[in-house]
Amino acid sequence: MEFLKKTRFDTEANAVFKMSAAEFNSIDDFGSEKFISRLNDYITEFKYSQLPRLQELKRYYLADNNIKYRDTDRDSDRADNRIASDWGKYITVFMQGYMLGNPVKYVSDDDALVEKIETFGKQNGADYHDGLLETDLSIYGRAYELVYTDSEAQERITKLASEQTFVVYDDTIAENSLFGVRFYQIKYNKTETNSFVEVYTDNAIYYYKSNSKEFENIALVDSAESRFDGVPINEYKNNEERLGDFESVLDGIDAYDLSQSELANFQQDMNDAYLVIKGNPATGTAEPEFQTDDDGEPVLDEYGNPKMVTNSSSDVIRQMKKARLLVLDNNNDPDGPDPDAFYLTKTYDATGAEAYKKRLVDDILRFTFTPDTNDQNFAGTQSGEAMKYKLMGNDNLRKTKERLMTRGIMRRLRLLGNVWSIKNSVSTVNKSASLYDKINEIEVQFTPNIPQNDEERISQLKELYGVISDETLFTLLETFTGVDAADEMKRLADQKEKADSEFQARQEQATYPNLNIDDGGDDNGQQG
């Protein structure tokens, strides 16, 4: 594997698949040899041009970096550490938590529609699902979800693997999605593997199968109707280039791994430094150097290397290296032997090495817009304004990611709305407006998950009391209290009503006291 050389990925590794709208509209049989051939072209191109990039990015997320596969040609007697840093996961986890640590909210003047969306979200674990999408976006630069109906005709969503999914778009300016493809294989044993392909169009689903591991042999085996009135595979983009959050700093990560590995090698070699003994008589005099058989051919060991003759010069050198010991002969010195013993070491520039690693760390964080949480200035005592400046770069990136994710979420809602309209399962407030129009009016809100200075925030909100409406004030308080603004206002109304009732009861008690009037008799039971 190439290490810090040449171009990392194929020039077509992130290309968007397209098909002429005219060609797609001319397809009247998705089981035809012509369409299957075209489908195989896309799958082949994906497997050989795009899949290697996705797999490498996933490796870096799992800390299986290229340093693990570096060919050093290092002597087997020397340290050869391969230390992979987990920068990929660090950046991804931070970005995912920052964006979606707080659930996405939906705002509309149509309470019934918002309730329907929230119910759907709870049934499908939308918060967790959105987090999975953002994780894929951060790793691969793209993410896919499938909107479908289950066996009970209930709408569902699920994340699809980016290594097994792609969408084909038309050649118009609008770049409408023509169909989505999911392909995968099931290996039953060492010899039996089946290949499967699913094609999703705006009105149907086509299922293909091959009884081998070659997708070229697939054939249409089944089809089903789709009522979403749109391609149900929904693609999300991390940015217009579909780049992952740490993709641009892979070289920096490799350089950091190399620096860490070489430092570990140096430390280990220092611990196992060679002891040099000078002035010893020459050893290793046996000849020949290597063992031979009766035919004069060299005898090989289990690794295919020639076996050395005991006490030959090569054998002695091998034994000395194994013992971390070098015995040198200087008996031929004209001034006579000069015995000496010392460890063979080299100097390590600790200051320069640490400065180099710090520069690499700074560059990785800077170019991914990730704050350094280990920075002493990045502390809980910082004011809200100071934190904003430290997060400004990441905030700018987050805004772009939110806009693109909003596009994907809105498309999800429109697909769901098409089915909800057929079922007539949503009773909108405005009867004159279509469900499609009402969905387009929904506002998708993201709340960044950042540390809050509670005292400072409460102080600021106190100053806003009476300046803005109570509903707006309680909306701002949601991230602090965790209570929805509408619920909080209802609680206050109930609390006030209860307080008013108790006050009225006390007033009545004071005005009409419950006097204990006896029957008028004296202690002897006689009338007064």
**For residues 82 and 66, what is the distance between their CA atoms, to the nearest angstrom?**
9
Answering whether pTM is above 0.85, one says no
Do 122 and 215 share a structural domain?
yes
Do 252 and 359 form a contact (C-beta atoms < 8 A)? no
Q: Look at residue 409 and tell me whether its pLDDT is greater than 70.
A: yes
Share of the chain above pLDDT 90, in %: 48
Positive or negative: CA dihedral 510, 511, 514, 516: positive
* Residue 225: partners with Cβ closer than 8 Å, 6 or more residues away: 203, 204, 205
* Measured distance between the N- and C-terminal CA atoms of the chain, rounded to whole angstroms: 117
Q: Do 148 and 105 share a domain, yes or no?
A: yes
Q: Does 166 share its domain with 230?
A: yes
Residue ending a domain, choose from 344, 372, 404: 344
Q: Which residue has the higher pLDDT, 325 or 106?
A: 106
- 19 falls in which pLDDT band (50, 70, 90)? very high
Span of 66-75, 79-88, 315-324, 335-344 with lowest mean pLDDT = 335-344
As a whole number, mean pLDDT of residues 160-164 equals 97
pLDDT at residue 72 greater than cutoff 80: no
**Among 299, 323, 344, where does a domain finish?**
344
Asked if residue 133 is part of any domain, the answer here is yes
228 or 500, greater pLDDT? 228
- Residues 306, 222 within the same domain: no
pLDDT band at 412 (very low <50, low <70, confident <90, very high): very high
Whether 279 shows a pLDDT value over 80: the answer reads: no
pLDDT above 60 for 268: yes
Domain identity same for 214 and 295? no
Same domain (yes/no): 218, 317: no
Q: What is the pLDDT of residue 528?
A: 41
Give the range of the structural domain holding residue 316, as residue numbers without chain letter: 274-344
Domains in the chain, number:
3
Give residue-wise pLDDT tens across range 357-378. 999 999 999 999 988 877 666 5
Residue 198's pLDDT is: 97
Model confidence at 505: pLDDT above 90: no
Helix then strand then coil, in percent of the chain rounded to 5, is: 45, 15, 40
- Tell me, yes or no, whether 442 lies in a domain: no
Which residues, other chains included, contact 67 with Cβ-Cβ below 8 Å and sequence gap of 6+?
Answer: 3, 82, 83, 84, 254, 257, 258, 261
Q: Give percent of the chain with pLDDT exceeding 70.
A: 79
Residue 186 in any domain: the answer is yes
Residue 132 in any domain: the answer is yes
73-82, 136-145, 473-482: which has the highest mean pLDDT?
136-145
For residue 292, the 8-state DSSP code is B
Taking residues 405-423, report their average pLDDT. 94
The answer, yes or no, to whether residue 301 has pLDDT greater than 90, is no
Please check the confidence at residue 420 and state whether its pLDDT lies above 80: yes
Q: pLDDT band at 255, cuts 50/70/90?
A: very high
255 in any annotated domain = no
Q: Are residues 111 and 193 in the same domain?
A: yes
If asked whether residues 65 and 177 sit together in one domain, one would say: yes
pLDDT tens profile 220-230 = 999 999 999 99
Do both 114 and 214 map to the same domain? yes
| Residue 527 belongs to a domain | no
Asked if the model's pLDDT at residue 87 lies above 60, the reply is yes
pLDDT band at 295 (very low <50, low <70, confident <90, very high): confident
Q: Which residue has the higher pLDDT, 471 or 111?
A: 111
* Matching residue, tokens 């042999």: 217
| 372 located within any domain | no
Q: Is residue 437 part of a domain?
A: no
- Do both 226 and 314 map to the same domain? no
Does one domain contain both 66 and 182?
yes
Tell which wins on pLDDT, 319 or 414. Answer: 414
What does the mean pLDDT of the chain come to?
A: 83
Structure tokens at 512: 């009409």
Do 280 and 244 share a structural domain?
no
Lowest mean pLDDT among 169-178, 248-257, 293-302, 396-405: 293-302
Q: Kindly report the backbone phi and psi dihedral angles of residue 275, in degrees, each rounded to the nearest multiple of 5, phi listed first.
A: -90, 120
Q: What is the mean pLDDT of residues 410-429?
A: 86
pLDDT at position 32 over 60: yes
User: What is the average pLDDT across 492-516?
Assistant: 76
Of 328, 344, 360, the position where a domain reaches its end is: 344
Per-residue pLDDT tens digits for 103-155: 999 999 888 899 999 999 999 999 999 999 999 999 999 999 999 999 899 99
pLDDT for 3 = 58
Contact assessment for residue 3 and residue 66, using Cβ atoms and an 8 Å cutoff: yes
